């Protein structure tokens, strides 16, 4: 992406390619309206550069005298636009050829094709939004559930930024008092003021720890709860996946070992995006393919937020079951006893002794699937996988910066406890401020911006 180049005019198709009723070609920059004058002929005869802001106008997109498409042009003038620049949006028909012809006309008249996320990057660089709000735009676009959408919308509205700015002000207040004492040592900080600074820093430390404790839940609501279904062959893993998806996704047969690779799907369970993975049930591999399948299954289990360990309730526990019980005793796990419609032979007490959550179901007959869904949701809202109250931090980058800031505040408190020089305390607080500034973009590098905005689609 060009390094902070705000002088040219950019253009992109802002709607997905394919057949649709409407397609949007968006221009932003100082020549946006000038270019619109060249290619858009309004029905009323006036030129787009004469239009008032926040107005729409019917007309035609033309290449010289050739009509390319019937369209509606929307004008948004700087500074009250998405990018704080002049914006023209051409709403034409959503066919691939029509959109490409309009885009080509704009490029021929002096615009440059936008890089991924460049419109939002300009909104940030021009001061309309901060970096945390810019990242929220992508969260909203990628939201897979209402909960994820709500988190993104709150962050775009500025909820996270307001929290960070409040923490920053309080940290800066404490630092200002210390810096004054360092600059004017003859006016020592009194014991009362020093105690107040210590209490303020302790409060900030506690607040940051609470946010970080809850950040895992935010991450799950943003990225999805990584859930793995595992169990011995023919226990009903694929049937369970199909039951949760409410459609036949995995092949189900009486033959053990049908699933030889991991199968991943995303489903919405009580507002939580669940990335659910069905793994191969092979315990002892017989060939190279099965060996790779087992390795993939083990890798998925290691990374999982939640494991659903499924047992065949119509059979006694086998050595394979016992092996999985031992391997998963320290993982957040829901034990599922499948085939409850058949005569039960399983040692339920052995399973219950290891796992807190044990649910009997019939994946084939869809019995008690709702109870399992409740248990999955509880693992996020009440249980071990992601305990804590709702919060606004759902981005891993933000959580890492907050953790670094919290460690530095903790370091400052230790320095005060040990009665070290205030210079040591002040240095810790200065570094902590920088990490908070990284979140909102008070401090940023071009590499960071490129990394963040490269994940956006072209037209946003």
Element (DSSP H or E) covering residue 226: strand 225-231
Question: What Å distances lie between residue 259 and 249, 254, 293, CA to CA?
Answer: 11, 12, 9
Tally of CA atoms within 13 A in the half-sphere of 160 that contains its CB: 33
pLDDT of residue 256: 42
Cα separation, 403 vs 410, in Å, equals 10
The 3-state DSSP class for residue 64 equals coil
Contact 312, 235 (CB under 8 A): yes
Helix axes 446-453, 131-142, angle to 10 degrees: 20
Instruction: Tell me the sheet residues that pair with 89.
Output: 26, 74
Integer Cα distance of 126 and 64 in angstroms: 34
Q: Are 183 and 164 in contact (CB under 8 A)?
A: no
Q: Which fold has domain 141-221+393-453?
A: 1.20.120
| Residue 69 near residue 60 (C-beta atoms within 8 A) | yes
What CA–CA distance (Å, rounded) separates 68 from 388? Answer: 56
pLDDT at residue 249 in the model: 52
DSSP 3-state of 69? strand
For the chain, the domains span 10-130, 141-221+393-453, 227-381
d(CA 272, CA 381): 10
- Residue at token pair 């919405």: 268
**How many CB atoms sit inside 10 A of residue 55's CB?**
12
Q: How far apart are CA 335 and CA 355, in angstroms?
A: 7
Kindly state the DSSP code that residue 314 receives in the 8-state scheme.
T
Half-sphere exposure of 368 (CA within 13 A, CB side): 14
**Which tokens sit at 354?**
């290891």
> Do the domains spanning 141-221+393-453 and 227-381 agree at the CATH topology level?
no
How many angstroms separate the Cα of 169 from the Cα of each of 63, 174, 255, 304?
Answer: 55, 9, 64, 38
Q: Determine the distance from the C-alpha atom of residue 10 to the mean position of all C-alpha atoms in its chain, rounded to a whole number.
A: 27
In this prediction, residue 361 carries a pLDDT of 94
- What is the rounded distance in angstroms from the CA atom of residue 402 to the CA atom of residue 387? 18
Distance, CA of 249 to CA of 264 (rounded, Å) = 10
Q: What is the pLDDT along the chain (460 residues), one digit of tens a residue?
A: 455 577 899 999 999 888 889 999 999 999 999 999 999 999 987 899 999 999 999 999 999 889 999 999 999 999 999 999 999 999 999 999 999 999 999 999 999 999 999 999 999 999 999 999 999 999 999 888 887 888 899 999 999 999 999 999 999 999 988 888 787 765 566 655 788 889 999 999 999 998 888 787 777 877 788 999 999 888 898 889 999 988 665 434 343 444 445 678 888 888 788 989 888 665 565 556 566 766 777 888 888 889 999 999 999 999 989 989 998 988 999 999 999 999 999 999 999 999 999 999 999 999 999 999 999 988 877 654 544 444 568 888 999 999 999 999 999 999 999 988 889 999 999 999 999 999 999 999 999 999 999 998 888 8
**Which is it for the CA torsion 178, 184, 187, 188, positive or negative?**
positive
Tell me the CATH class for 10-130.
Answer: alpha beta
pLDDT of residue 147: 79
Q: What pLDDT was estimated at residue 1?
A: 47
With H, G, I as helix, E, B as strand and everything else as coil, classify residue 8: coil
Distance of CA 423 to the CA centre of its chain: 38
Residues 6+ apart with CB under 8 A from 258: 238, 251, 252
Burial class (CB in 10 A: 0-12, 13-18, 19+), 402: buried
Q: Which CATH class is domain 227-381?
A: alpha beta
């Amino acid at each position: 992406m060009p390094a902070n180049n705000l002088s040219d005019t950019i253009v992109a198709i802002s709607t997905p390619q394919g057949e649709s009723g409407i397609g949007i070609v968006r221009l932003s920059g100082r020549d946006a309206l000038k270019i619109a004058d060249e290619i858009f002929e309004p029905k009323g005869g006036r030129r787009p550069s004469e239009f008032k802001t926040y107005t729409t106008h019917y007309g035609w997109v033309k290449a010289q005298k050739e009509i390319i498409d019937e369209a509606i042009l929307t004008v948004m003038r700087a500074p009250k636009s998405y990018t704080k620049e002049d914006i023209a949006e051409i709403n034409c028909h959503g066919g691939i050829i029509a959109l490409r012809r309009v885009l080509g006309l704009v490029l021929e008249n002096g615009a440059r094709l936008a890089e991924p996320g460049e419109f939002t990057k300009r909104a940030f660089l021009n001061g309309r939004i901060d970096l945390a709000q810019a990242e929220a735009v992508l969260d909203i676009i990628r939201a897979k559930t209402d909960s994820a959408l709500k988190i993104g919308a709150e962050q775009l509205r500025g909820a996270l930024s307001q929290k960070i700015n409040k923490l920053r002000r309080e940290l800066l207040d404490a630092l200002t008092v210390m810096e004054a004492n360092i600059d004017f040592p003859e006016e020592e900080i009194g014991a009362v003021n020093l105690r107040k600074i210590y209490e303020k820093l302790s409060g900030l430390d506690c607040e940051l720890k609470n946010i970080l404790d809850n950040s895992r839940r935010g991450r799950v609501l943003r990225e999805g709860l990584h859930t793995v279904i595992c169990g011995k062959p023919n226990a009903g893993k694929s049937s369970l996946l199909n039951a949760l998806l409410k459609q036949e996704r995995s092949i189900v047969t009486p033959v053990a070992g049908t699933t030889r690779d991991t199968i991943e799907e995303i489903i919405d369970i009580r507002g939580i995006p669940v990335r659910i993975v069905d793994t191969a049930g092979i315990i002892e591999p017989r060939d190279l393919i099965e060996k790779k399948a087992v390795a993939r299954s083990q890798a998925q289990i290691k990374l999982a937020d939640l494991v659903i360990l499924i047992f065949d309730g119509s059979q006694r526990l086998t050595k394979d079951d016992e092996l999985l019980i031992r391997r998963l005793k320290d993982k957040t796990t829901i034990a599922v006893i499948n085939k409850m419609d058949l005569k039960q032979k399983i040692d339920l007490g052995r399973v219950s002794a290891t796992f807190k959550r044990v649910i009997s179901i019939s994946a084939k007959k869809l019995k008690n699937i709702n109870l399992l869904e409740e248990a999955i949701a509880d693992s996020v809202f009440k249980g071990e996988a992601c305990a804590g109250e709702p919060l606004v931090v759902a981005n891993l980058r933000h959580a890492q910066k907050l953790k670094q800031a919290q460690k530095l505040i903790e370091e400052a408190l230790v320095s005060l406890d040990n009665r070290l020089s205030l210079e040591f305390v002040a240095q810790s607080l200065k570094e902590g401020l920088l990490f908070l500034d990284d979140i909102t973009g008070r401090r940023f590098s071009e590499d960071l911006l490129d990394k963040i905005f490269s994940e956006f689609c072209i037209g946003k």
